[in-house]
Every structure is written in structure tokens, then in C-alpha cells.
Amino acid sequence: MKIGLAVAAADALPSAFVVLRDDLCRCVDRCAALGYDGVELALRYAGEVDVPEMKRRLAATGLEVPCISSGQVFAADHLYFTHPDPAVRDAAVGRIADMIRLAAEFGAKVNTGRVRGIVREGETVEAAAERYLACIGRCADVAEPLGVELLVEPVNRYEVNFINDCAEGLEIVKRAGRRCVKLMPDLFHMNIEDASFRQAFEAARDYIGYVHVADSNRLAPGWGHLPFDEIFQILSDIRYDGYITAEILPKPAPDAAAAQAIRFLRAGLAAAADLRPG
């Protein structure tokens, strides 16, 4: 498995769950110095990335961009797939389509996250699901020819009221019926919504495209109370070999949190690999 860190530009919203806010190319250098394999770019617009310069920094450091996340599209601009206004849905699809084209430049995935939207008061879950599926299908039409995966991330009930646990995420992935649409479990949200880490991961093992990690308090792994030894073993048991990316708060300080995350994850994953049968 490879380990990534979620980062954003210096002017990212305070609500963005990233540990580093800086010039994106400087973020690459900082992550490389700490020993990460990749940087996840949390963006509001695809145009935030200077593609030629980013490619130069990646080549110089050996890092990758495994994923582009889109939470700020929802949080800052209130664009989302379940909105009743077709113009808003079109704008959300357009923003994600731009991110898909950007992701293709780096061989990255796109996390559709909270841009999936909410179930609005007075509407049904099925109405929201139908709008969502229509929008994710349009995004898949862009993503599939470019070889880009779209990630569905279950998010806890305190942030959105649609696709909260991994079972709901897996169901919507299957309903989408597109080979590029995958599930992205996030340990922070799973700790709130899923009764069993093992059951959730094992049920979705053939559909998982990416994994987010944070401890129970959204701090760096090891600074809360999640059962990481068990989680590392589960990931090893299901033979997950993709990225695990830390999406954590910059506390007590950004560099200290980022250093703790990579140190803890490297040691834990290595120990779990040593215990896995051949």
C-alpha cells in the first residue's frame, strides 16, 4: 500500500479537512520531505493546479497525485448532484468533469464526496438517488474514456443525510453500474456510521478504490482511539493494495500532525504485512 496526505491551497476553506494549506507545489515538496508517496489535492476548481509545474515537482520528488477531492465544491459553492434545480446539478457536473480531465493528467482518481448532495426537506431518498445516479452517470461518461475512477465516499450523518455508511455507499455504486465508479471508505466516518470495520470492508472488498484515514477525533492516526491494529489487519486480509490517505486536522501543528501520520501508518502497515499468510 502507498500512503498519501490530503492538502489544499493556502486559501482553502477552514472547513477543508487538510493538514497542509500552502502553494500546491510546495505541498508536494513538504510531503516528499516527510516520506509520503503521494498528495491528494483538495480543490474548489480544477484551475487551481498549474499542471506543467505540478508535473515538474512530481517528477523531481517521485511523488504521485493519487486523488483529487471536491468537498469544497459543495461546501463553498453549494453545488451538488441531488439539488432540485437542473442548473445547479449541471454546474456541479461541469465542475467535476473539469476535475476528471485534470485527474487524467496525473493518473489520479476523483473523490465525489459531499458533492453528491443531500436529501432536501420534503423529498424522498429515492428522488435524491435518482438525481445522483443521473449526475454520476454523466460524470462517468467523461471519466471512463480517460481511465479515471470516480469515488463514492460515505459521509457521516452530521455532515450530510445521504449515503452515510458503507452499505449505502456500496448499494449506490452497484446501482450506478459503471466500471469507473468505486467506493471510498473513510475511517473517520466509518467509526460513526458502520457497526463493524471488518464487515464493512469485507462486504465491499471488490469495489474499494481508495481509503481515507484519520483517527476518531479527526487527528493524525494514533492520536485517538480507533483500533488501527485491527484495521491494518483487515486491509491486509482483503488484499487491499491501493492508497490510504490521511485526511486530518492540522493539530497541534501541521508538520507535527503530518509527521505523526506517516510514521504511524508506515509502522502499522508493515506490521500487518508481516503477519499476512503468503
150-152/20-21 β-pairing: unpaired
By annotation, the residues acting in catalysis are 153, 247
